[in-house]
Structures are given as structure tokens and as C-alpha cells.
Amino acid sequence: MELKGIEATLRSLLESSTETSIIAVDLDQRITLWNKGAERLLGYSAEEVLGRDVSFIYLEEELRSGRISEMRDRVLRGETFRGEVGQLRKDGKVLRIYLTVTSLKDEDGRIVGFLGIGQDITERAELQEKILHAKRELQAMFDAIPDVIFMRSPDFKIIRANNAAFSYFGGRKILWTPCYGLRGFSSPCPDCPGNEAVSAKKAEPFEFQDRKGKIFRVYQYPVLRADGSLYAVISLMQDVTEAKLLQEKQRELELRLIQESKLSAVGMLASGIAHNINNPLTSIMGRAQLLLMDHPELEEDLSPIIHQAKQIEAIVHNLTYKTRQEQTKKKQRLDLNHLLKQELEFLKADLDFKHKVEKEYDFDESLPPIWGVYSDFSQSLLNIIRNALDAMYKSERKKLTVRTYHDEENIYIEVGDTGCGIPEEVLPHIFEPFFTTKPLAGEAHGDEPTGTGLGLSTCKQLLGGYRAEISVKSKLGEGTTFTVKIPIGPNQYEES
Ligand SMILES: Nc1ncnc2c1ncn2[C@@H]1O[C@H](COP(=O)(O)OP(=O)(O)OP(=O)(O)O)[C@@H](O)[C@H]1O
Ligand SMILES: [Mg+2]
């Protein structure tokens, strides 16, 4: 009686449990028990299913694959089956069920059926799938970033890293090694702001240069736990080599502009001085000439005075002419022979040029004039001539050749040197802005020529407006010849 009471209580407990599905079947698979939980989970009422073959709750593919019959066989052998199976709800939705199956025995211990207890883990499985997907997505995102990123623990061990980090540092073996080891240190890097600053979000990015000369800026961001303590640190290494280089070039360019504006101020000053020299000079010359007329016997003493004064007059004239020309941006009729002669004359201020460079000039005296802005040509041609002189800096024989000639369509200006020549691999780059093989000003040794690499690109830009072409012939160790070809178009003489 007592036992019967307990059995009845247990049975009603099983039947009424709504969280867990409990299904019993006999040896022929016919359903003998279908509790409230099974009703709720699978959508069938007990009346609908009692006595039916249980197979309809399983998935076709799991029945076919023999998984369900294997489960039964195991239970028949006395084992308990525990595992995930699919079950079909009345409305067709597939549920993921964590199923425990044991055998049911009669009083003599003979197996008379099976008891299955199922827990719905569909949501959990779906959540797990979502988490997995999100994780994969995050990793893909992480890997798509070209900057080196890794996550480290507060004690500096690398926990995670992206592909860029693996390929930069040489593979997955960096995981769980200390991050300072990547830079060859045996304790935290001296420039690392440290955990405290990172936690407080006050870590300033720092920069370092690797062995290959690449410059990285390192940013560190904290990952904090709910209680505010440091869980991990994300390190991002941004390659700033190019940006740095550009910054340096820009600085150099600024310096050059400052230098040029200083020069132009000096030029203005000089032309002012030149102008003021003119009056006393005319007076000196006039008096010397008068004196000579009255005292021809003093010719020996007076001639050199007059001669030198004439020299000064010529210099002053050239100076005022050039400054005036450089400052006008208006197009005018230009005699390129005259312009070249002026530039070459001014270069004589450089004593090396005056005394150490052999010069061969050949000007085509019937060169047609060009319609253009004076400084476009003076700047461009001076750069080509300066490049030629720079190239001969170390040459034993320094010979500069400047030649002009023309045919029916074009004017040609040729500048040749006996300098170092241009290596084949350098040649395609010489017109690129900022391309230079010379040290920057301030980094040169002695009087070694310096450069910013803007000369030829500016030439190309300035002369491009006149449809000019610049060609180069060079032989390593022997010298280089630049030829500028300028078309004498019919519109050359019209103001555009
Ligand atoms: N006559 C030449 N002989 C040998 N190399 C030359 C010659 N002319 C130009 N080059 C090469 O071309 C490069 C670019 O010349 P470019 O005039 O543009 O710049 P730079 O002379 O180096 O600097 P900048 O003109 O701005 O002072 C030079 O650095 C040099 O390597
Ligand atoms: Mg140059």
C-alpha cells in the first residue's frame, strides 16, 4: 500500500513536470507515458500520442543514420544514453534536445521499455552558434586590419593577435610569450607607459624604430573588468614610416621656402643698393673721363679707373635686370641665350664654379625668341645647370657644356656634365617630387651638395606649360646630358 502510494506520487510528479519532457515507450516503441513537459515541448497532447510509435518525434536523417537505433541498443545492453538529439515539434520546428535514456524494468528485472528524459537546449545551441559566429566575425575583422594588433595580459603575455601581427612577428608562436620579447627586451619595454597609465586611459602613444628602420607608433587601450580592474591591454602598432618621411620633407620644404624668401628679400635689398650705387658711379666715371680729356698724360692711371667703373656698372646693370625679371610673372618675349648667359654669369659668384669648372658654351645666335615668364625658364634651367655642377662634385675633370640650337619646330637647350652619371635604376625616378640622391641640408658632410628632390619635378611642371620635353642621356661615371626641347608654336608669341 505504502509503496503503491509512493509510486503513484512519483508518477504524477513525472507527468506534471513541465520543464522536462519525460516519455516512456515499450519494447515495440509504443508510447506509454507522455508528460506535461513533453506536451509543452513537442506540442502534442498525451491523448494524441499514447500508443503511437515514437519514431515520429525523431528527425528523418537521425533515424536513417542509425543513431536512434544505436541509442536503443546501448540501453538494451544496460547502459544509460546521454547525448544531443534532434526532435521534431508538432509545428515542424526542429528542437535540440539533451536526452537521457534508461531502461524500464519489471519486478523480475527484465527490460520492458525505455524512459527518456529530455531537456530543451535549442536556445542554448542557437546562442552558442551565434556566439561562435560573432567570434568568427570579430576575428575576421581583427585580421582584416593591416595594422599589427595584439591583446596582452596585465603581466605582458600575448593572449590574442591578428594576422598582421603574426606575419610581422613571425607566426603564432608569439602567443603566450611576453610582448616585450618581440622587441628583444627581457623586461617591459622602457618606453611602454605601463599598466597604470593604460588603466587610467592616460597612456600616451609611443614610437619606436625596428631593426629594418620602420617606425611604429604604438597605442594601448585597456580592457577593464566590471569592477574596473585591468583584464587585458590592446596594443595597436601603426606603421608611420611614410608619414614621418613626408613630415621631414615638408619641414625641409618649409626651410627651403624660408630660405628662398630670405634670398628674395636680399635680392630686393641688392637691387636697391645697386640703384643707389649708380649715381655716385656715374659721377666718378664722368669725372675720370673729364680728367683724362684735360690731362691725357694721366691715361695710364685713369684708364684702369674708368675700366673698373665700367665693370661695376655692368654688374649693377645685370643685378637690377635679373631682380626685375625674376619678380615679374607676366609673359614676355624671352631671349633664352641671354637668359642663360645671365644665369651663368651669376653662378660665377661661386668661386669653385668660376675657377675649377671648365666651360664650353655654344649659343645659337639665331635662336628664335620664346613667349613666356622669365622665372619659369631661369628657375628650370638653373636647376638643370646646378644638378650638372652637383654631379661633378667629386669628378676630377669638371666640364660644363651649355649649347643652344634650333630647327623649324623646336628650340633645344643642352646642358652636359662630366659628373657621376645616373644609374639605370635611378633614371625612371628623377622627375618624381622629393626624389633625391643627395643628403638633406643639415645632413651633408662638408660642402657636399644637398637637395630636396624638387628641382626636376618643378622644371617639368613649369616647362610643361610650354609643351616642353626634357630628355636625359647618361653614362655612369662619365656624365650626363639633359636636353630641353621647346616647341616654337605659332601661338608662342601670343599672350595666352
Ligand atoms: N646631371 C645629373 N647627373 C647625375 N644625377 C642627376 C643629374 N641631374 C639630376 N640627377 C639626379 O636626379 C635627382 C633629382 O634631381 P632634382 O633636381 O629633382 O633634385 P635634387 O637636385 O636632388 O634636389 P633639389 O633640386 O630640390 O635641390 C638628383 O638627386 C640626382 O640623383
Ligand atoms: Mg636639383
CATH code assigned at 216 = 3.30.450.20
Pairing mode of beta strands 358-362, 230-239: unpaired
Question: Do residues 375 and 493 both lie within one domain?
Answer: yes
- Which phi-psi region, left, alpha or beta, contains residue 371 (left: φ > 0; alpha: ψ -120 to 50)? beta
Q: Please give all residues whose beta carbon lies within 6 A of any atom in ligand 1, as ranges.
A: 383, 387-388, 391, 417, 419-420, 422, 426, 430, 435-438, 451-457, 480
Looking at 189, 210, 239, which one is the last position of a domain? 239
Centre of ligand 1 to C-alpha 410, Å, is 25
If DSSP codes are grouped into helix, strand and coil, which group holds residue 105?
strand
Do 496 and 378 share a domain, yes or no? yes
- Do the Cβ atoms of 97 and 118 come closer than 8 Å? yes
Region of poorest pLDDT, from 45-59, 220-234, 263-277, 300-314: 263-277
Does the pLDDT of residue 211 top 90, yes or no? no
Q: What percent of the chain has pLDDT over 70?
A: 96
Question: What pLDDT score was predicted for residue 490?
Answer: 58
Parallel/antiparallel/unpaired status of strands 410-417 and 399-406: antiparallel
- Does the residue 400 lie in any domain? yes
> Based on the domain organization, do 186 and 258 belong to the same domain?
no
Per-residue pLDDT at 495:
46
Ligand 1 atom 7: the closest Cα is on which residue?
387
Helix, strand and coil content of the chain, in percent to the nearest 5, comes to 45, 25, 30
Residue 65 has pLDDT above 80, yes or no: yes
Q: Looking at the chain, how many residues does it have?
A: 496
Q: Which residue has the higher pLDDT, 192 or 314?
A: 192
Low-confidence winner among 146-160, 252-266, 462-476 (lowest mean pLDDT): 252-266
Q: Whose CA is nearest to atom 21 of ligand 1?
A: 451
What is the rounded average pLDDT of the residues 108-121?
93
Closest Cα to residue 430, out of 460, 406, 404?
460
Tell how far the Cα of 252 is from the centroid of ligand 2, in angstroms: 14
Residues 372 and 398 in one domain: yes
pLDDT of 494 higher than 70:
no
Of the pLDDT bands very low, low, confident and very high (cuts 50, 70, 90), residue 4 is low
Cα–Cα distance measured from residue 220 to residue 235, given in angstroms and rounded to the nearest whole number: 5
The answer to whether residues 338 and 320 belong to one domain is no
Give the pLDDT mean for 264-281.
77
Residue 131 resides in a domain: no
Percent with pLDDT over 90 in the chain: 61
Domain boundary pick from 327, 356, 373: 327
312 CA → ligand 1 middle, Å: 34
Assign 25 a pLDDT band (cuts: 50, 70, 90).
Answer: very high
Q: Is residue 132 part of a domain?
A: no
- The region of weakest confidence among 345-349, 374-378, 488-492 is 488-492
| Judgement on whether residues 254 and 366 belong to the same structural domain of the protein | no
d(CA 482, CA 465): 19
pLDDT class for 496, splitting at 50, 70, 90?
very low
Question: What pLDDT is attached to residue 1?
Answer: 44
pLDDT surpasses 80 at 252: no
**Which residue's CA is minimally distant from atom 12 of ligand 1?**
430
Provide the 8-state DSSP code for 205.
P
Q: How far is the CA of 107 from the centre of ligand 2 (A)?
A: 107
- Checking if the pLDDT of 256 tops 90, the result is no
Nearest residue by C-alpha to atom 9 in ligand 1: 387
* Other beta carbons within 10 Å of 405: 15
Of 211, 239, 267, at which residue does a domain stop? 239
| Ligand lying nearest the CA atom of residue 449 | 1
Min mean pLDDT across 268-282, 378-392, 422-436 is at 268-282
Same domain, 280 and 424: no
**pLDDT score recorded for residue 275:** 75
Which pLDDT does position 88 carry in this prediction?
Answer: 95
Cα(281) to ligand 1 centroid in Å equals: 41
Tell which phi-psi region holds residue 364, choosing left (phi > 0), alpha (psi between -120 and 50) or beta. Answer: beta
Q: How much is the pLDDT for 75?
A: 94
491 with 392, same domain: the answer is yes
The mean per-residue pLDDT over the stretch 182-187 comes to 92
- The pLDDT value given to residue 261: 72
Residue 134 maps to a domain: no
Looking at the structure of the chain, the number of domains it has is: 4
Residue 205 in any domain: the answer is yes
**Which parts of 289-330 are beta strand (E)?**
none
Given a cut of 60, is residue 233 above it in pLDDT? yes
Q: What is the mean pLDDT of the chain?
A: 89
Among 379, 401, 456, 460, the mutation site with the greatest number of ligand 1 atoms within 8 A of its Cβ is: 456
pTM of the model as a whole: 0.53
Q: CATH number of the domain that 292 lies in?
A: 1.10.287
Q: What is the mean pLDDT of residues 54-75?
A: 94
- List, as ranges, residues with CB under 5 A of the ion ligand 2: 383, 387, 455
| Beta carbons of 484 and 469 less than 8 angstroms apart | yes
pLDDT of residue 263: 66
- How many CA atoms lie within 13 Å of 460's alpha carbon, on the beta-carbon side? 13
Angle between helix axes 455-464 and 374-391 (nearest 10 degrees) is: 150
Give residue for cell 506536451.
Answer: 39
Q: Across 323-468, where does the E strand assignment appear?
A: 331-334, 358-362, 370-373, 399-406, 410-417
149 and 182 housed in the same domain: yes
Whether 11 and 99 share a structural domain: yes
Note down the domain range covering 363.
330-496
Together in a domain, 355 and 449: yes
Q: Is residue 60 part of a domain?
A: yes
Q: Are residues 182 and 216 in the same domain?
A: yes
